[in-house]
Copies of this chain bind each other. A is one copy, B any other.
């Protein structure tokens, strides 16, 4: 009997909690629905402000816009700086809840990757958002939409940072707004942090953390950045790869030469660069550089188990992306993302195609992206690439060559590297991480997908190193968002659902 009552009370207890969570979610959803127009309009205005990290002229307008959004929502805000002057500030805000025993931090970044407007599709510009009916690959076309007309949740909003990561800022601030304006009582303190240099490798986030260590203390920092699975399923992600960029410039003659007048004699820097790059990987995408994989810490049993539990997306990806022969020699997608990578972000020498001329170019440039995993170190990883380049008889310089260097060295290469940062991984069994999982789970009807480490990068190691904080990522936008490239876009449905997800996290057990 007693047992029976206990059992009943357990049911009631669960139901009562579930009902209550459900009711809050309904309220949030109702709020979003009622305010959809103004939420989307505000977001479009936000996306209209150019936010390329290096565009210091326009960055302050983003900062001002965010602080205004926070003020409208009753969140006191300030700009956080490190030691270095003249760099993009982070925007910080804090809500103290009387009697709160815990603090939840929410992070997103407002800066975007560089843009080349010429590469965007017709009618689309990086900082003039429009609605499109679907991704361009699926025949999406621009919608002639006037404010106030209904918005189809299947549509996407285009623009640089629409997905990565002004979406994060938008969802966090609207989640808070939805809770407060729906009369829901918060039980934890909430901290807001919006970074402005993520897309250039967060070169001053360490300084910002060091200068504001006490202010930024939290029991957990939730990173609202990145995309759901290709299936559309929600994720919780426990780690990120590290990242560092290298820029390589190989030199030919001092000036472009007529390919007839000098062809066979003048060295072609494009040919020399392609030969150098070609040797870095085998035909299946495995990096051939000496020691490249040596210091990788393998996945632990729990992480391997998590990966094994995830349905295989390879067939979907292959079809969706039009790829018949992926790299990786048959290793699974998620396992490949747990390895360091070497990617050619771009290569350019003179012009190819319609603008090509019959010349021997004077220089050839490539930008590499190295992703790092636990065990790797930025400086060691970069050095491995440099050692390889030197083994190919290149003399490495950090400037355009002088006449003396040109006469002294047969092969010259300029290498510049950004600061970069290492990988980070949070143990999946951490109690507060489990709370985050349950919060996200409460908003969906299928099992939330748990990823030991995303393939992407964020400077999350700094949260551990400088704030002694735990950190977990909750990526919320569509995976086919053209993040970092032309025609970036975010699906309206996910943007609005993301508000509910963040709200659930703000209320987590």
Chain A residues proximal to chain B, CB less than 8 Å:
54, 113-116, 135-137, 226-227, 240-241, 243, 245, 247, 249, 251-268, 270-271, 273-275, 277-281, 283, 285, 317-328, 333, 336-337, 339, 341, 343-362, 364-367, 369, 371, 401, 403, 406-411, 454-457, 479-480, 482-487
Residue of B nearest to A227 (CB): B261
When distances are taken between beta carbons in the complex, the residues of chain B under 8 Å from A324 are 406-410
Q: Is the CB of A261 within 8 A of B349?
A: no
Task: Given A114-B355, A255-B487, output 18 extra A-B contacts at Cβ < 8 Å.
Answer: A116-B351, A226-B261, A245-B358, A258-B484, A263-B341, A263-B371, A265-B333, A265-B336, A275-B281, A278-B279, A318-B407, A324-B409, A344-B361, A346-B349, A347-B350, A347-B364, A353-B365, A362-B485
When distances are taken between beta carbons in the complex, the residues of chain B under 8 Å from A251 are 322
When distances are taken between beta carbons in the complex, the residues of chain B under 8 Å from A357 are 113-114, 345-346, 484-485
Q: Is the CB of B339 within 8 A of A353?
A: no
When distances are taken between beta carbons in the complex, the residues of chain B under 8 Å from A349 are 344, 346-348
Say whether, besides A137-B255, A358-B243, A401 and B346 are in contact (CB < 8 Å).
no
Copies in the complex: 2
Q: Is the CB of B265 within 8 A of A328?
A: yes
Residue of B nearest to A401 (CB): B322
Inter-chain CA distance A333–B346, complex, in Å, is 33
Q: Is the CB of B367 within 8 A of A259?
A: no
Q: Distance in Å from the Cβ of A274 to the closest Cβ of chain B?
A: 4
23 contacts between A and B (CB under 8 A): A113-B358, A114-B351, A227-B258, A243-B358, A245-B358, A255-B485, A261-B479, A263-B337, A264-B327, A265-B336, A271-B277, A271-B281, A278-B279, A318-B407, A325-B410, A325-B411, A345-B358, A346-B359, A348-B353, A352-B366, A352-B367, A353-B365, A362-B485
Residue of B nearest to A261 (CB): B455
Say whether, besides A264-B285, A264-B328, A264-B339, A367 and B344 are in contact (CB < 8 Å).
no
Inter-chain CA distance A277–B270, complex, in Å, is 10
Inter-chain CA distance A403–B318, complex, in Å, is 11
Inter-chain CA distance A260–B113, complex, in Å, is 14
A406 contact from B323, B408, B455, Cβ within 8 A:
B323
Residue of B nearest to A160 (CB): B357
When distances are taken between beta carbons in the complex, the residues of chain B under 8 Å from A364 are 347
10 smallest CB-CB distances across A and B, nearest first, come from A325-B410, A260-B456, A256-B485, A278-B278, A356-B367, A346-B350, A322-B406, A263-B341, A274-B274, A253-B321
Q: Distance in Å from the Cβ of A363 to the closest Cβ of chain B?
A: 10
Q: Is the CB of B358 within 8 A of A369?
A: yes
Inter-chain CA distance A346–B408, complex, in Å, is 26
Q: Is the CB of A356 within 8 A of B351?
A: no
When distances are taken between beta carbons in the complex, the residues of chain B under 8 Å from A350 are 345-347, 485
When distances are taken between beta carbons in the complex, the residues of chain B under 8 Å from A115 are 355
Q: Is the CB of A258 within 8 A of B483?
A: yes
Q: Distance in Å from the Cβ of A491 to the closest Cβ of chain B?
A: 15
Say whether, besides A339-B264, A410-B324, A259 and B345 are in contact (CB < 8 Å).
yes
When distances are taken between beta carbons in the complex, the residues of chain B under 8 Å from A365 are 352-353
Residue of B nearest to A480 (CB): B255
Q: Is the CB of A266 within 8 A of B326?
A: yes
A346 contact from B257, B283, B285, B352, Cβ within 8 A:
B352
When distances are taken between beta carbons in the complex, the residues of chain B under 8 Å from A241 are 260
When distances are taken between beta carbons in the complex, the residues of chain B under 8 Å from A323 are 252-253, 266-267, 406
A361 contact from B336, B346, B401, Cβ within 8 A:
B346
Residue of B nearest to A416 (CB): B353
Residue of B nearest to A314 (CB): B265
Inter-chain CA distance A277–B349, complex, in Å, is 14
Q: Distance in Å from the Cβ of A300 to the closest Cβ of chain B?
A: 20
Q: Distance in Å from the Cβ of A283 to the closest Cβ of chain B?
A: 7
A274 contact from B347, B367, B479, Cβ within 8 A:
B347
When distances are taken between beta carbons in the complex, the residues of chain B under 8 Å from A337 are 260-261, 263-265
When distances are taken between beta carbons in the complex, the residues of chain B under 8 Å from A341 are 259, 263-264
Inter-chain CA distance A441–B288, complex, in Å, is 59
Q: Is the CB of A326 within 8 A of B265?
A: yes
Q: Is the CB of A353 within 8 A of B264?
A: no
When distances are taken between beta carbons in the complex, the residues of chain B under 8 Å from A227 are 258, 261
Residue of B nearest to A313 (CB): B265
A255 contact from B54, B327, B353, B482, Cβ within 8 A:
B482
Q: Is the CB of B347 within 8 A of A348?
A: yes
A484 contact from B268, B322, B358, B371, Cβ within 8 A:
B358
Q: Is the CB of A265 within 8 A of B484?
A: no
A348 contact from B261, B352, B482, Cβ within 8 A:
B352
